[in-house]
Structure 1
C-alpha cells in the first residue's frame, strides 16, 4: 500500500537531491582527471619520478573515502588524510605544482562528511600544513593566499554540511509522510468496514430475524392444522418485513451518500409499527445524516430486542432535541407473555450502537430498568 502521492514540495526536493548526488560523482571524476592532467603539466624531468606515484596516491585516497563513506567517518578520514598528505608532499617537492589544490578540495568535503569534533582538528591541521609549505617553499604572500583560500572553501564546507542535514531531514520526512499516509488509508478502510458491518447488521439483522420468527410461526401453525387465516397472517407479516428491509436498505444507502432524513418522523414510524408510545421533546432541528441514522438505529435495535425478549411489554420511546444535543430513550416494562427467546441475532447490535455513539462523541447505555430494560443514547450537538 503506497498511502497516496507525496506532497509536491517533498517530491521536488527529493528529486533535486537525487540529481545532486549523481552530478557530484561526475564532478569528482572530472576533477580527478583535471588534477592529474595539471599535475603532470606542471612538472618536468626527474619530477615525474615522484609526481606519478603521489598523484596516484592522492586519487586513491579520494576514491577510498568516496567508496567507503557509508561504512563510517573513520574510513573517510583515512582516505582524505592520505590524499592531503600526498598532495602536500607533492607541493613541497615541486612548489610550482598543483599539490596545494588537494587541500582546498578536501576541506569542504571533510566538513560535509566528518563529525564536528573531527573536522576541527582535521581542518586546522590541513590549513597549517599547506600554509607552512607555502611560506617555506614559496613566499609569505602565497602562504596568506592559501590561508584565505582555505577559509573560503571552509565556508563552502559548512554549506555542504547544512545541505546534507536538510537532505537527511527530508529523507526522514519522506519516510514519515509515507507511513502516515499508509496508516491513514488503512484507518479509513477499517472505519469504512466497521460502518458497513453496522449497516448490514442493522438492516438484515432486524428484518431477517423478524422474518425468520414469522415463518417459523407459520410452519408451527401448519403443523398444528391451524386455520388458513392464521398462517396467511404470519406469511403476510414476513412479506411486510421483507419490503421494510428493502426500504431500510434504500434509506441506508441515502444516508451513506450524505442525504439526511427527518429523524422525528422516522423514529415515530418505528414506534408506531412496534405499538410503542412515542413522545418528542424540544423543537425539531435538522441533523446530519450520521446523527439521524444513529438515532434511528438505536431505536430500531431497542424495539427489536423488546419484541424478541419482552413480548407483551409496554414500550415507550422518547426523543429529545435541545441546544446541547439529541437523545433517545427506549424503555420496556418486561415480558408479559411466556416466550422462548430465539437466537436469531449476531450479538453485534448493542456493540454496534456503542461504536456509533463513540464515533459521534456520544454516550450509549443499555441496562435493566425495573422489571424491564432501558436503552439510552445521547449525542452532543
Structure 2
C-alpha cells in the first residue's frame, strides 16, 4: 500500500496524464458514477449513501492506474453490498490484469478477489449455499472478474512482446545501416584514391609542361597567352579534382581558412583559383576571353545573397554553358547574364551559331546537363537548355535565394534497400539511427497496419470469448431459474384445487416442496401463522396488483392435515 506522499507522486508523475487520457478517464469515471447513482436511486437508498458510493466509484476508477490490486480487492468487496460498485469490477479487473507484475502475484490477487466476492456473497445471502445457485454465482464472477483480468494481462504481454520485437527490428535496421554506411565509405575512399592517382598525375604533368612552355622564348605573345590559359585551366582542374576527392573521402567539402579555397597539396602551383560561386563568374568569363572568344557579361537587378548550394549551382551553370559553347560553337560570341529577380536568380549563357562545324575530335559525355538539372532540383530551382531562334544555343537556370532545405542525396546501399537516401554529411558518423519514429514511411505504415489488424483480431477474439461465456452463463442461469420456478411457483388453479382438511401428505404430493431461493423473504408482511402449525409458502405464476407486489400462496399444516390456506401479496 502506497503512502499518501508516494501515491501523490505516482499520480502526478510527468507524462501520467496526457490530454487524451484525462478526457478518457474523466468520461469513464463520470459514466461509472452515473451508473452507481442509478443503482442507488432504484434501490431506494439514501441520498448520502448514493452520493458517497458514486464518489467512491469515481475515485477508485482513477486510482486503479497506480493501485490496481487494491482497487480490485476493494471493488470486489464493495460490489457485494453495494450494487452500484458492480460495473467497476470489470474495469478494475482489466486494469489489474495489465498492471500487476508477476504471474504469481497476479494469480494471488485475482484468486483473493474471487474468493472474497464469492464468500461475502454467500455470507450476505445464505440462500446462495444451494449448489446450483453457488455454481451460477461462481460462473458470473468468472465472467465479470477473471475473464477481463485474463484479457488485460494478455493485452499487456502482447504489447510488451510487440515493443520488444519493434526495438529488436529497429536495432537490426540500425546495424544494417551502419554496415552499409561503412561499405559506402570504403568504396568512396577507393574511388577517391583512384581518381587522385590517375587524373591528379595527368593534370600535374599538364600543368608542369604548360608552365615550362609558357616561358619558352620562341613563342609569340599570342601563343604564350594561350598556353597561360591552358596552364590556369589545368591548375583549376586540379583544385576541383582535389575538392571532389575530399568530398568522396569525408563526405564534406573542406574550405581553407576564412572560407578561401584550400591550398594545393604539391601537385601544382596555386594560381589563386577564385570562389566557385557567383563571385567566380568574372574569372570564368575572363578565362574565356583570354582564349580568344568574345564574351559579354550582363548583370541586372539588385544583388542578393544565395544559399551556398544555389551559389555553387549558379557557377556550374555558367561553367557548363561556356564549356559547351567552346566545344560546339568555337569562336562564336557568348553572352552571360545574371538577372536578380524578386525571388530567384536567373543565370543565362547564350552563344551565337558557330561559323564553322566543331572538330569531330571534341569529346563530350552528355552528362553535364543532367548533373546541372539535379543540382538545380536539389536547391528548388530548374534548368532549361535549347536552341535559339538564330540557331545558337541557350542554357538557363532559375535558382531561388533560399534553399528549401532538401539535403543533397548521395548513394543508396543497394537496389533493394528500403531506406530513404541518406543526407550528405551523415557518413562521418556511425550511420543513421533508425528508431520507431524514423522508420521509412512504407515500413512504418505496414507495421502500423499489421499492429492495428492484430489488435482488431485480438479484440474480436476476446469479445467472442466473453460473448460465449455470457451465453453459457445465460443458458445455465435460464435452466437454473426454470428449475427454481418449478420448485417455488404454482398456478392459481392448483391453489384452488387444494381443500382445507386434506392430509398433509396428499397436499404435498400435489404441490412443489418450495425449497428455492425465490421464496426467501416472502414471510415479511405475511399474516400470522396459526399456533403450532408449519407452513409451505409458494409463489404465484401470475403478476401482482402492482409492480412491487408479489402474490403468495401459503398452506399451513397441523397434526398431519391442512388447517389453513391463504392467498396474499407481499412487497417484492
Higher relative contact order (CA 8 A, sep 6+): 1
**Higher share of residues assigned helix:** 1
- What is the TM-score normalised by the length of structure 2? 0.33
Q: Which has the larger radius of gyration?
A: 2
